[in-house]
Structure 1
Amino acid sequence: MGILPISEWASWNTSFGGAGTGSGPLSGPWYSTHKTQLLGVLLAAASNFLISVSLNIQKCAHLRLACQTEPKPYYMSKLWWCGITLLGLGEVGNFTAYGFAPIALVAPLGCVSVIGSAFISVLFLKKTMRAADILGGTLTVTGTYLMVTFAPNVPQALTARRVQNYLVSWPFLVYLILGIIIFCILLYFYKRKAVKHIVVLLMMVALLASLTVIAVKAVASMITLSVKGKMQLTYPVFYIMIVLMAISCAFQVKFLNQAMHLYKVTAVVPINFVFFTTSAIISGVIFYREFQSAALLSVFMFLFGCLLSFLGVFVIARNKKEEHVQIPFIDYGHIPVSAVGQIQSKNQILATLKK
């Protein structure tokens, strides 16, 4: 990493409305080299926003049922099923986004769910808009813009053979061994010493999440290539990644549910968002080498955008008052949704729905 090359300065000038090969900012070389990545960004942002809408619809259904003299089970409500359908669509979109954009870009976009829920709850649940929501939303949107602008461009096709090579590369093997050692130490304190501190629980979730996002991106990319006509589903590594995705996600839900049970949502959501996003970015850097040829300024601005997003989530989640309804809220641990979406929807959105 070093000083920005002239070609990259030119591409940024094009992206901000400078001279390009066509008539507009999206007709120049920047768009031609980033259009696949932009598709992943738009898909991830739209999916996370759809998730926030779906969860607000579900809570609205629960509140309506709680006000009835003879409340019916929540699964008898058409409004609740409408929310579940939208949730499923959002999770599928989140999964697909990993096939088009880098992990370092898709994972932080989970913040869209947080700010989306904060503002949508004003319409669905008649809540009062706070100054903290506006400030947090502004910080998060600014951070997201910087992340999208300065995110690494990884045009490589993630074929099954390339994924196999990454699995046996020494950087990943060292990272995997260190991760296993740290996880075993945390698990020892959790099981043997009964240490259930929020940092211990969410660090185990983050370590598992790093494996989950690696597997999700590999599976999504191989499916995308197969749909385009380059069959990748006949390789054993595809099914290995599916198993890894399912197992790591299942254990994430276990430890995350424990954290949600022991601590307030306002504490779990921002800490878990930071841990999850950081672990996802690190795994993308090590396994998929997403920042391998990035300029120093690009890395700095991207990390600064992440910092603003983290700060925005903390501001939105801070000092929220929790509400309790008579009918239990939906148990996300039993919904068969996608691996990464399971983590994002539960961690990052419940803050604005259960407060």
Structure 2
Amino acid sequence: MAAVRRWSEGMSSDNIKGLVLAISSSLFIGASFIVKKKGLKKAGASGVRAGVGGYSYLLEPLWWFGMITMVVGEIANFAAYAFAPAILVTPLGALSIIISAVLAHIILREKLHTFGILGCALCVVGSTTIVLHAPQERQIESVTEVWDLATEPGFLFYTALVLTAVFTLIFHFVPQYGQTHIMVYIGVCSLVGSISVMSVKALGIALKLTFSGMNQLLYPQTWAFTLVVASCVITQMNYLNKALDTFNTAVVSPIYYVMFTSLTILASVIMFKDWDRQTPTQIITEMCGFITILSGTFLLHKTKDMVDGPSLTTSISMRSLKHEEEDGFDEGVPLKRQDTSRIP
């Protein structure tokens, strides 16, 4: 208890607010994955699937309920970035993976093996480690300060690399490999997401300052960040829907988390220089916590089709057949779909 008291006393009030908002966000977002998946499957049974370019899910109330749940979670996440550094908020998204995995086990019948439970525990341990050693939020007095950080050569170079990679994926790889390689859709979402989070943080800071009496809406930089956020979110939602409809939820969620979190932390370190305010010991501890989270998500992914008991192969085969009969399409191949008609 004494250690917890020392930690809470050493942690700023803004960091605590950001922590609570980030945990709430993970709860809503984790549930939204499952609800949206159910909506996509229901819409795909009576129309053109989202994975092949259809938009029948827009007429499905269940998908909209999932979207509303995700929006609530994203709003909480948005607010969290206004109070706490990205290196604290973003890794806590691992909690959404746990929620998603548990609900997928209950609702979608995507079984959670004992090693999957261990993966969830690793995610919790890693998240706790990062929370205990997170840096204090940088004090910013104006949105123009954030703009200055965003226009430094280092972050401009990172942004240029991200945009180049995104356009290459969208115009070259998506038409050819989008339906067979999950990394194509998730790559677009994650790359765009790292820029989105930086803009969301900038916009959140602007709104926080505005509500405290320092109006930031007069600055054109505030509206520039708003435009970037809107563009990035639309792009992310489009390709995340494609990924969810094409591949297994238990695969999409952890891979998206790992790529998105890694790139977001990198972007935050470049733009906000989070590690400049920390000792090498703190940085190494945070990286150990992050690696622990990655290990947990990897374990969740690798054991997603395993069940307890001796008849592992039979159980996997029966489960795959059952999904095919219920869904009308096979989502059992997680990373790459088999396409016998493709010429090597």
For the superposition of Structure 1 and Structure 2, which TM-score range results when normalised by the shorter chain? Answer: 0.7 to 0.9
Paired position in structure 1 for 2:126:
143
Paired position in structure 1 for 2:49:
none
Matched, 1:167 2:150: yes
From 194, 206, 223, the counterpart of 1:210: 194
From 19, 24, 27, the counterpart of 1:41: 19
Matched, 1:246 2:230: yes
Q: Is the 8 A contact 2:110 2:250 kept in 1?
A: no
Deviates more, 1:125-134 or 1:304-313: 125-134
- State the 1:222 CA deviation: 0.7
From 192, 199, 204, the counterpart of 2:183: 199
- What is the CA–CA distance in structure 2 between the aligned matches of 1:15 and 1:168, rounded to whole Å? 43
Matched, 1:308 2:289: no
Deviates more, 1:205-214 or 1:51-60: 51-60
- What is the CA–CA distance in structure 2 between the aligned matches of 1:58 and 1:181, rounded to whole Å? 30
- What is the CA–CA distance in structure 2 between the aligned matches of 1:263 and 1:165, rounded to whole Å? 40
Per-residue displacement from partner, 1:264-283 (whole Å, max 9, x unpaired)? Answer: 33433322211100110011
- What is the CA–CA distance in structure 1 between the aligned matches of 2:276 and 2:300, rounded to whole Å? 34
Q: Residue 319 and residue 138 in structure 1: after superposition, are their counterparts in 2 closer, same or farther (change >3 A)? A: closer
SS at match of 1:231: coil
Matches within 5 A, 1:107-186: 107-119=90-102, 130-157=113-140, 159-186=142-169
- What is the CA–CA distance in structure 2 between the aligned matches of 1:222 and 1:210, rounded to whole Å? 19
Question: Which residue identity does 1:313 align to in structure 2?
Answer: T
Matched, 1:25 2:23: no
From 257, 273, 286, the counterpart of 2:241: 257
Instruction: Give unmatched runs, 5+ long, in structure 1.
Output: 1-13, 18-23, 65-72, 329-355
Per-residue displacement from partner, 1:89-136 (whole Å, max 9, x unpaired)? Answer: 322211111101111121111111111233456677798763123211
Paired position in structure 2 for 1:91:
74
- What is the CA–CA distance in structure 2 between the aligned matches of 1:54 and 1:249, rounded to whole Å? 16
Question: Which residue identity does 1:137 align to in structure 2?
Answer: C
Instruction: Give unmatched runs, 5+ long, in structure 2.
Output: 43-56, 306-319, 329-344
Q: Is the 8 A contact 2:37 2:245 kept in 1?
A: no
CA RMSD of aligned residues (A): 3.6
Q: TM-score, normalised by structure 2?
A: 0.73
Paired position in structure 2 for 1:10:
none
Matched, 1:226 2:210: yes
Residues paired across the two proteins, number: 297
- State the 1:290 CA deviation: 1.3
- What is the CA–CA distance in structure 2 between the aligned matches of 1:226 and 1:156, rounded to whole Å? 15
Deviates more, 1:318-327 or 1:221-230: 318-327
Question: Which residue identity does 1:105 align to in structure 2?
Answer: L
Paired position in structure 2 for 1:3:
none
Deviates more, 1:115-124 or 1:103-112: 115-124
Deviates more, 1:234-243 or 1:159-168: 159-168
- What is the CA–CA distance in structure 2 between the aligned matches of 1:123 and 1:255, rounded to whole Å? 26
- State the 1:187 CA deviation: 4.3
- State the 1:257 CA deviation: 3.5
Percent of counterpart pairs with the same letter? 27
Paired position in structure 2 for 1:272:
256
Q: Residue 191 and residue 86 in structure 1: after superposition, are their counterparts in 2 closer, same or farther (change >3 A)? A: closer
Question: Which residue identity does 1:143 align to in structure 2?
Answer: G
Deviates more, 1:86-95 or 1:237-246: 86-95
Q: TM-score, normalised by structure 1?
A: 0.71
Paired position in structure 2 for 1:67:
none
Q: Is the 8 A contact 2:34 2:103 kept in 1?
A: yes
Per-residue displacement from partner, 1:39-77 (whole Å, max 9, x unpaired)? Answer: 10111112211333466677899999xxxxxxxx99898
Question: Which residue identity does 1:280 align to in structure 2?
Answer: T
- What is the CA–CA distance in structure 2 between the aligned matches of 1:25 and 1:167, rounded to whole Å? 34
Per-residue displacement from partner, 1:290-345 (whole Å, max 9, x unpaired)? Answer: 112211111111111111111212222334357579699xxxxxxxxxxxxxxxxx
Q: Residue 84 and residue 219 in structure 1: after superposition, are their counterparts in 2 closer, same or farther (change >3 A)? A: same
- What is the CA–CA distance in structure 1 between the aligned matches of 2:242 and 2:38, rounded to whole Å? 25
- State the 1:287 CA deviation: 1.1
State the 4+ residue runs in structure 1 displaced beyond 4 angstroms: 53-64, 73-77, 79-87, 120-129, 321-328
Matched, 1:298 2:272: no
Question: Which residue identity does 2:80 align to in structure 1?
Answer: A
- What is the CA–CA distance in structure 1 between the aligned matches of 2:84 and 2:206, rounded to whole Å? 13
Question: Which residue identity does 2:26 align to in structure 1?
Answer: N
Paired position in structure 2 for 1:288:
272
Per-residue displacement from partner, 1:247-271 (whole Å, max 9, x unpaired)? Answer: 1222223333343444433433322
Deviates more, 1:266-275 or 1:182-191: 182-191
